[in-house]
Amino acid sequence: MIEWHYPRTELAQQYMNAFDTGITGALALFAPRRMGKTEFILLDLAVEAESRGYQVAYCSFWNLQDNPAKALRLALDGIKKSGYWREKWHAYTESISSEISAEIGGANVKLKSRPSTPAGEDELLEIINLLGKLSRERRPTLLLLDEVQHLSNERFASLVATLRTQFDEHRKKLHVVYTGSSRDGLQRMFRDRKAPMFHAAQQVDFPDLDSKFVAFMLQAFEKASQRKLSLARATQIFNTMNRNPALFHHLLRHMVIKGIWDIKKGYENFQALVDVEADHQLLWDDCKPIDKAVLKLLVQSPQFGLYTEEARSFIGNEIGTEGVSIKEVQNAVKRLRESQVLYSPSRGEWLLEDPQFRNWILSHIGS
């Protein structure tokens, strides 16, 4: 078996050092979707933590969106099973009821579907009980909470409140890493005074992969095909893909299967066949005309702001009406935020969550 996972051991050590030296008790990692967060926490961070004597639990709130308390309880249950982290993680994914399949480190784990029960008192009490037990043990615990922005929904306020108190109480023995692909969702949770569960967390921009990743992937490619690719050209293409490791990995697989040994040709062929932009087109088609106009404005003329006269006449021009009210623009922003297209890094500033979508809009403007 060829190893396609590029290890990010140094980064894992850096984060674990922050815990071990008491710099912080919790970290929150942000990056857009498909940038390697899950692979990093499962295959690098968890392994590093385990080698330092930690017990590790992983929970994705995306897997069980309707019942995050249950997802967490199952993850905590699994911690006590004997065996290495990797086996425990597989056991966890099997116990989760959902219809999605997770692809991690090349292994595809299909998850079974079962109707989920609503999160009740019992589930919360059990979580409190399990966290209490863990914190009384000699070994520290690392909790990996993936796609945590799903907790920002009002419905999960009681779970969030429970976690806040528990993490605070056990902060010496219990470290937490949150990840989220919606900066906005996560930041809302950080800021919301009703949910200060993340106050203690250090917010970190999860770093992009670089040319060392490309070099590693080219080695794997060489093992699979006995062909060498130019690192400089491959890195160029990786950069034009906005350093998206998922797309780059796809491209290399595509080349091996098709027997294309020139990465430029491979990329052209890949683009023509695999519609890497399909998602963007779908997202765009789903937007109301005014939402599209707001996006165009943000991409093309961000200096106008969103609510100024100029901004609103830009939007009006786009949709063919004269007066666009502030309220209408606010509603469009709200929709775009809820569909995780926009996020706000600071008050009054709005950015596109996905830089690729931004580029896509730029190249489709006017059409």
Ligand X SMILES: Nc1ncnc2c1ncn2[C@@H]1O[C@H](COP(=O)(O)OP(=O)(O)O)[C@@H](O)[C@H]1O
Does residue 162 touch Mg ion according to CB under 5 A? no
Does residue 35 touch ligand X according to CB under 6 A? yes
d(CA 76, CA 106): 25
**Given 249, 280, 296, 312, the residue binding ligand X (CB under 6 A):** 249
Rounded to a whole number of angstroms, the minimum distance from the CB of residue 147 to Mg ion is 6
Q: Is 52:142 a contact under the CB 8 Å cutoff? A: no
**Given 11, 33, 100, 299, the residue binding ligand X (CB under 6 A):** 33
* Stretch near ligand X under the rule CB under 6 A, chosen from 1-9, 197-205, 292-300, 304-312: 1-9
Does residue 340 touch Mg ion according to CB under 5 A? no
Does residue 93 touch Mg ion according to CB under 5 A? no
**Given 31, 38, 243, 263, the residue binding Mg ion (CB under 5 A):** 38
* Stretch near ligand X under the rule CB under 6 A, chosen from 29-37, 74-82, 135-143, 323-331: 29-37
* Stretch near ligand X under the rule CB under 6 A, chosen from 36-44, 56-64, 80-88, 197-205: 36-44
Does residue 246 touch ligand X according to CB under 6 A? yes
Task: Name the residue with tokens 């929150």.
Answer: 28
List of residues 6+ apart from 197 with CB closer than 8 A: 160, 161, 163, 164, 167, 189
* Interacting partner of 39 out of Mg ion, ligand X, none (Cβ under 5 to 8 A depending on kind): ligand X
**Given 16, 27, 39, 260, the residue binding ligand X (CB under 6 A):** 39
Q: Which is nearer to Mg ion, 104 or 351 (CB)?
A: 104
Does residue 6 touch ligand X according to CB under 6 A? yes
Q: Is 123:73 a contact under the CB 8 Å cutoff? A: yes
Rounded to a whole number of angstroms, the minimum distance from the CB of residue 175 to ligand X is 20
**Given 245, 260, 270, 324, the residue binding ligand X (CB under 6 A):** 245
**Given 19, 38, 74, 141, the residue binding ligand X (CB under 6 A):** 38
* Interacting partner of 341 out of Mg ion, ligand X, none (Cβ under 5 to 8 A depending on kind): none
* Interacting partner of 249 out of Mg ion, ligand X, none (Cβ under 5 to 8 A depending on kind): ligand X
**Given 37, 73, 280, 292, the residue binding ligand X (CB under 6 A):** 37
Q: Which is nearer to ligand X, 42 or 329 (CB)?
A: 42
Q: Which is nearer to ligand X, 2 or 326 (CB)?
A: 2
Does residue 103 touch ligand X according to CB under 6 A? yes
Q: How many residues interact with Mg ion (rule CB under 5 A)?
A: 1
d(CA 211, CA 169): 42
Rounded to a whole number of angstroms, the minimum distance from the CB of residue 101 to ligand X is 12
Binding mask 177-196 vs ligand X (x if CB under 6 A, - otherwise)? ----x---------------
- HEC string of the chain? CCCCCCCCHHHHHHHHHHHHCCCCCEEEEECCCCCCHHHHHHHHHHHHHHHCCCEEEEEECCCCCCCHHHHHHHHHHHCCCCCCHHHHHHHHHHHCCCCCEEEECCEEEECCCCCCCCCCHHHHHHHHHHHHHHHCCCCCEEEEEECHHHHHCHHHHHHHHHHHHHHHHCCCCEEEEEEECCHHHHHHHHHCCCCHHHCCEEEEECCCCCHHHHHHHHHHHHHHHCCCCCHHHHHHHHHHCCCCHHHHHHHHHHHHHHCCCCHHHHHHHHHHHCCCCHHHHHHHHHCCHHHHHHHHHHHHCHHHCCCCHHHHHHHHHHHCCCCCCHHHHHHHHHHHHHCCCEEEEECCEEEECCHHHHHHHHHHCCC
The residues of the shown chain that bind ligand X, judged by CB under 6 A, are 4-6, 8, 31, 33-39, 103, 181, 245-246, 249
